[in-house]
Amino acid sequence: MSGPEQAVERPSVATLQARYAAAAHAVQSATKFLIERAQWNGDESLAGANPKHLRAGLNLVMTDTATLAQLLVRKGIISELEYFEAIVTGTERELERLTADARREPGFGGISFG
| Tens of pLDDT, residues 29-73 | 998 888 888 878 777 776 567 777 777 878 888 899 999 999 999
pLDDT at 41: 79
Q: How many CB atoms lie within 10 A of CB 26?
A: 19
User: Which one is predicted more confidently, 59 or 13?
Assistant: 13
Residue 22 has pLDDT above 70, yes or no: yes
Helix%, strand%, coil% for the chain, nearest 5: 70, 0, 30
Q: Is pLDDT of 1 > 60?
A: no
pLDDT, position 18: 95
Q: 0.85 exceeded by the pTM?
A: no
